[in-house]
Structure 1
Amino acid sequence: MKKAELVFIPAPGMSHLVSTVEVAKLLVDRDERLSITFLIMKLRSYSKIDSFIDSVSAASIRFRFIDLPEDEPDPNNPDNALFSFVETQKPYIKEEVSKLVSLSQSSPDSPTLVGLVLDMFCTPMIEVANEFGVPSYIFLTSGATLLGLLFHIQALHGEQKVDPMEFKDSGAELVVPCLANPYPVKVLPSFLLNKEGLSIALAQARRFRESNGIIVNTFEDLESRAINSFSNGNTPPVYPVGPMLNLNRDGDRDVESDKFKDIRQWLDDQPLSSVVYLCFGSRGSFGVDQVKEIACGLEQSGHRFLWSLRPPQPKEMGFGVEIKMDYRKEVNSDGNDDIVSAGEIERGVRCLMELDNEKRERLKEMSGKSRKAVESGGTSSTWLVVELGFGVEIKMDYRREFFYDGNENIVSAGELERGIRCLMELGEEKVESLKEMSEK
């Protein structure tokens, strides 16, 4: 049979590229006739992305990466910068897809283009797929619960004319098919509670429905309720393919650095269950005042901690702009240079959890708890507290905007200290109960 080719279009940025490549590896391992071309959108040259691509290319002859012309996001529209940037890439995408189709038609040995796999932020490229008469599939790097929530919000807004923004300061709750429990409107993601963010989310959900299928970075045991909620035929087929993990650390040249080794050694030297690890995601950050409150709360709790600390991105700088501010000096004003970068901490903790057997078993226990948290009502940390009782509430409805505009609700050091102490000093009976729950 003739060889087949898929075109993958990841969103700009390292994290989405890595998970996209992992999906591609899964597919080519299942069919030797399949090859994959990645069309890489770049805001600017990133050395880590380049080294990652070089590493993956060297490992597979069935992967090909094509760099699209570099461009810049609209500095006058930071809230919508990513989506407007993706829209500007459509002519470049169309040109490359046209070349692949022409080559396939002119040469019997060339593979046939059988579909476009689009990152969740690249839905405008569905139009390109339609123009060339090939299927389009969405790759959702988040879980199935978020997908179900987006579809539900879109249905409420379109069919029942319900605007969640009207209820954001109330005690209103949503009954969402992908969740077992009512979902308080006040803890919805921030982008669903502002006009422009909601408009973008609704447009995304509508475009998701136009695709031929949705590939989700999740698995049945983790989000069975959410996955089953798509079986009513009102959405495109949903394919759980996760978890997508780059355990080989392709292209990561920092894992043998001295700082990385120091972090791992420090973790190895600490007593079991004695370290609080703080990480708020690849885009999670706080203003200086909140950072200092968190630091005071941690210090006052008396417990060891590692903190993946990253600077906020000011709104006026827009999406994908390198931050030049000296965040260490601004936060750590006493001059003691003891702040470890987010990347160093992440690499150290990940490698430790992957390589050390005892730590890996503890991670397995935690995954069991996470599974039960999701089955009981979603992936939000809210449900760790509300449903299962093995999380500790500090501030349930705390929210922070994606870009930092200087305005921030501050959680005090005292609140943080109480939460950390409560979490770390749970009674033995409670700890045993949680352990039993994780093993069921």
Structure 2
Amino acid sequence: MSNKELLFVPAPTVSHVSPAVEAAKLLLTHDRRLSVTFCLFNMPFDPKLAQYNSSEGRVREVARGIVARSAGSGSGNPLLAGFVFDMFCSALMGTAAEFGVPAYVFSPPNATFLGFVFHVQKLHDEERVDTTELPDSVGELAVPCLTRPVPRWALPDVVADKVWLPIMLGHTRRIREAKGILVNTFRELESYALDSMGDDDVPPVYPVGPIVNLEVDDVAYDDDRTNEIFRWLDDQPDSSVVFLCFGTMGTFGEDQVREIAYGLEQSGHRFLWVLRRPPSDHEPKSNISTDYDDLIDILPEGFSDRTVEAGRVVGWAPQKAILAHKAIGGFVSHCGWNSILESLWFAVPIAAWPMYAEQQLNAFQLVVELELATEMKLSYRMKGENDMIVSASEIERGIRRLMEEGMEKRVKWEEMSEMARKTLMVSGSSFSSTGRFVRDFLG
């Protein structure tokens, strides 16, 4: 039989490209007849994406800024036999029909989010429910992918946005037409959400995660500064440091920065805090300074001197390497799905502080549905000048819960971490699911 090729089309952000690349690597380990090509878009406003694209595999420039990279274990010229589109690239799915091959979908977000958007689309199309105009009396929404109703504050941003909801509904309708869906999750973590989609007229769902790129961090860093971080961590007791990091888009105003600083200081715990200066009104987020010297003047006066032994404030740090360090005992996170999976992989418990997109739903799932994480501020939502302020006393309490009172959750987290690793091993549930997808594709 001739080799068959899958063409991956990920969304043009590092948080979507990286898991797609790792998912493809998993597929390639299951059958030597399979090969994979990527279509990667270099976006001028996102230098990190261009850097990631140029660092991964064999790359060549082609028309309109697209980069195509090929990888595979087969030989000869493979036959294009299918496309795998990111869930947010579904508008391109018609391309597969033009080539006469099936279209699959890859979902970097979790199964709960996928089941949630399927349900919202069904509500809109079949019951004429407009979630952008839910009356105030609707304080929560029952969804099949969760055992508990979702509070209004936990609904993803897109559900209440009149511009973005129609776009999301269009994506979801097209995803229903795919031949199958690869999801970055594992059955032991989201069995209820995965099972709920079996009765919802959706394509076969293949959980293939947790996908964690253990080899590459997504941005270059200063070796001297990073080495100093690890020298400091090496001197700290095991599981004694709380790590605060809020993703590439997570920034706070100066008032909130001061409350975090006071909360950390009052908690008495060691800390490593990744702090990014908020962008100006005319500054793209991708250009936010991560130089510590630019952060000093937004910290409380004397904070650095008072906490010189207890903590470090940095503009950027390699998150996966930090989470893997034995000194880290807790993670205050924005609850992006990639960060959640990395924290699970390294068995570092989370205190949830979601900020935007679907992060509130992720946090609700972790804290309320699965009872895995503790709460920092579940209802927080980043809104620019009108950001909610979480007080220093709330932050202190959240850190103490995470570091002092979470033994039961810590045990659960360690058990789930072990499951996450086993599920990718031979005969594990994700290994088997990945193999089933490859067999279904190759025929």
TM superposition score category, shorter chain reference = 0.7 to 0.9
* Corresponding residue SS for 1:423: helix
Aligned residue pair count: 381
- The AA in structure 1 aligned to 2:106 is F
- Mapped pair 1:415 → 2:388: no
8 A Cα contact 1:171 1:186, kept in partner = no
C-alpha separation in 1, matches of 2:301 and 2:199: 59
C-alpha separation in 2, matches of 1:19 and 1:297: 34
C-alpha separation in 2, matches of 1:42 and 1:50: 5
8 A Cα contact 1:219 1:243, kept in partner = yes
Residue 298 of structure 1 corresponds to 264
Following TM superposition, by how much is the alpha carbon of 1:311 offset from its aligned partner in structure 2, in angstroms?
A: 4.2
- The AA in structure 1 aligned to 2:193 is A
- The AA in structure 2 aligned to 1:238 is V
Deviations 1:265-303 (A, max 9, x none): 222222233222222233322223222222222122221
Residue 227 of structure 1 corresponds to 194
C-alpha separation in 1, matches of 2:146 and 2:6: 34
Following TM superposition, by how much is the alpha carbon of 1:120 offset from its aligned partner in structure 2, in angstroms?
A: 2.0
* Corresponding residue SS for 1:260: helix
Residue 131 of structure 2 corresponds to 164
Residue 69 of structure 1 corresponds to 64
Q: How does 1:72-221 map to 2 (within 5 A)?
A: 110-167=77-134, 169-170=136-137, 172-221=139-188
* Corresponding residue SS for 2:88: coil
8 A Cα contact 1:148 1:229, kept in partner = yes
8 A Cα contact 1:164 1:192, kept in partner = yes
Q: How does 1:346-425 map to 2 (within 5 A)?
A: 346-352=319-325, 366=347, 380-386=362-368, 391-401=373-383, 404=384, 406-425=385-404
Higher deviation after alignment, 325-334 or 237-246: 325-334
Following TM superposition, by how much is the alpha carbon of 1:140 offset from its aligned partner in structure 2, in angstroms?
A: 0.7
C-alpha separation in 2, matches of 1:369 and 1:411: 17
Following TM superposition, by how much is the alpha carbon of 1:113 offset from its aligned partner in structure 2, in angstroms?
A: 0.9
Residue 287 of structure 2 corresponds to 322
- Mapped pair 1:275 → 2:254: no
Q: How does 1:309-348 map to 2 (within 5 A)?
A: 309-312=275-278, 322-323=287-288, 328=295, 331-332=298-299, 339-342=313-316, 344-348=317-321
C-alpha separation in 2, matches of 1:119 and 1:433: 33
- Mapped pair 1:57 → 2:57: yes
C-alpha separation in 2, matches of 1:325 and 1:432: 36
* Corresponding residue SS for 1:57: coil
* Corresponding residue SS for 2:81: strand
Higher strand share: 2
C-alpha separation in 1, matches of 2:281 and 2:181: 31
* Corresponding residue SS for 1:128: helix
Residue 286 of structure 1 corresponds to 252
8 A Cα contact 1:40 1:66, kept in partner = no
- The AA in structure 1 aligned to 2:107 is L
Residue 84 of structure 1 corresponds to none
Following TM superposition, by how much is the alpha carbon of 1:223 offset from its aligned partner in structure 2, in angstroms?
A: 0.9
Consecutive unaligned residues of structure 1, counting only runs of 5 or more, are: 59-63, 71-91, 101-108, 357-361, 371-377
8 A Cα contact 1:141 1:217, kept in partner = yes
User: How high is the TM-score relative to the length of structure 2?
Assistant: 0.73
C-alpha separation in 2, matches of 1:251 and 1:387: 31
After superposition, the Cα gap between the structure-2 partners of 1:384 and 1:23, relative to the gap in structure 1 and judged at 3 Å, is: closer
Residue 9 of structure 2 corresponds to 9
Residue 359 of structure 1 corresponds to none
8 A Cα contact 1:10 1:17, kept in partner = yes
C-alpha separation in 2, matches of 1:236 and 1:18: 24
After superposition, the Cα gap between the structure-2 partners of 1:400 and 1:18, relative to the gap in structure 1 and judged at 3 Å, is: same
Residue 19 of structure 1 corresponds to 19
Following TM superposition, by how much is the alpha carbon of 1:315 offset from its aligned partner in structure 2, in angstroms?
A: 7.4
8 A Cα contact 1:42 1:68, kept in partner = no
* Corresponding residue SS for 1:296: helix
After superposition, the Cα gap between the structure-2 partners of 1:384 and 1:290, relative to the gap in structure 1 and judged at 3 Å, is: same
Q: Note the aligned Cα RMSD (angstroms).
A: 3.8
C-alpha separation in 2, matches of 1:304 and 1:251: 26
C-alpha separation in 2, matches of 1:368 and 1:424: 9
Residue 429 of structure 2 corresponds to none
After superposition, the Cα gap between the structure-2 partners of 1:280 and 1:168, relative to the gap in structure 1 and judged at 3 Å, is: farther
After superposition, the Cα gap between the structure-2 partners of 1:173 and 1:69, relative to the gap in structure 1 and judged at 3 Å, is: same
- The AA in structure 1 aligned to 2:313 is I
After superposition, the Cα gap between the structure-2 partners of 1:151 and 1:243, relative to the gap in structure 1 and judged at 3 Å, is: same
8 A Cα contact 2:272 2:313, kept in partner = no
- Mapped pair 1:435 → 2:408: no
After superposition, the Cα gap between the structure-2 partners of 1:368 and 1:285, relative to the gap in structure 1 and judged at 3 Å, is: closer
* Corresponding residue SS for 1:154: helix
- The AA in structure 1 aligned to 2:211 is M
C-alpha separation in 1, matches of 2:345 and 2:43: 37
8 A Cα contact 2:245 2:274, kept in partner = yes
* Corresponding residue SS for 1:181: coil
C-alpha separation in 1, matches of 2:186 and 2:83: 22
- The AA in structure 2 aligned to 1:185 is R
C-alpha separation in 2, matches of 1:129 and 1:192: 29
C-alpha separation in 2, matches of 1:435 and 1:340: 30
* Corresponding residue SS for 2:163: helix
Aligned counterpart for 1:257 among listed residues 223, 232, 236: 223
8 A Cα contact 2:258 2:300, kept in partner = no
Following TM superposition, by how much is the alpha carbon of 1:69 offset from its aligned partner in structure 2, in angstroms?
A: 2.4
- The AA in structure 2 aligned to 1:398 is Y
8 A Cα contact 1:6 1:35, kept in partner = yes
8 A Cα contact 2:323 2:348, kept in partner = no
Deviations 1:231-258 (A, max 9, x none): 126011111111112112288765x922
Following TM superposition, by how much is the alpha carbon of 1:22 offset from its aligned partner in structure 2, in angstroms?
A: 0.8
C-alpha separation in 2, matches of 1:391 and 1:168: 30
8 A Cα contact 1:260 1:348, kept in partner = no
Deviations 1:118-141 (A, max 9, x none): 112211110211222221111111
